[in-house]
């Protein structure tokens, strides 16, 4: 089938490997070259997760992202040219832990990233008394985005 294998002598990141093929008649091909990639991708980023929306994040462009759910099932996707990736949310619950790794085309795998699911809506924000001229103020769950709607 044309496949071949030789032992790896312990190559280092950035080494250049060349290979030629010689047929039974003695004709030799031009060399093919490949640069050794011996470094794992950085830990992928997982965006905050709720109980229903797709799970998104970023990883090394072109790497295969493997997302592992609490029940042990996985979803895989190839990160786009901008590093973004998305997998469906299987219906996670508040407090579930989701893990993701990135594997580059050379087979190097990153350490896992983890994200805890937040599937509970924040409490109703408080609005301080309002007059006709001062800024509108109040309090809400730290880190949440408050949307104010006017008449």
Using one digit for the tens of pLDDT, what is the confidence trace for 78-103?
999 999 999 999 999 999 999 999 99
CB atoms within 10 A of CB 18: 9
CB atoms within 10 A of CB 128: 10
Report yes or no on whether pTM surpasses 0.75. Answer: yes
Q: What is the DSSP letter of 49?
A: -
Domains recognised in the chain with CATH numbers: 45-116 (2.60.40.10)
Distance CA 101, CA 88 (A): 16
Q: What is the DSSP letter of 141?
A: S
SS3 content of the chain, % helix, strand, coil (to 5): 0, 30, 70
| pLDDT > 70 fraction of the chain, expressed in percent and rounded | 100
């Amino acid at each position: 089938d044309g496949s071949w294998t030789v032992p790896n002598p312990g190559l280092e990141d950035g080494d250049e490997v060349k290979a030629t093929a010689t047929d039974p008649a003695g004709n030799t091909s031009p060399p093919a070259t490949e640069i050794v990639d011996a470094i794992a991708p950085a830990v992928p980023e997982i965006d905050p997760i709720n109980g229903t929306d797709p799970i998104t994040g970023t990883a090394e462009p072109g790497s295969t992202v493997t997302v592992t759910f609490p029940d042990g099932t996985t979803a895989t996707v190839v990160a786009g040219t901008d590093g973004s990736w998305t997998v469906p949310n299987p219906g996670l619950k508040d407090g579930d832990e989701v893990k993701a790794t990135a594997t580059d085309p050379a087979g190097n795998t990153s350490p896992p990233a983890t994200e805890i699911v937040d599937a509970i809506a924040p409490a109703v924000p408080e609005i301080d008394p309002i007059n006709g001229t001062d800024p509108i103020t109040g309090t809400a769950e730290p880190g949440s985005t408050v949307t104010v709607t006017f008449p």
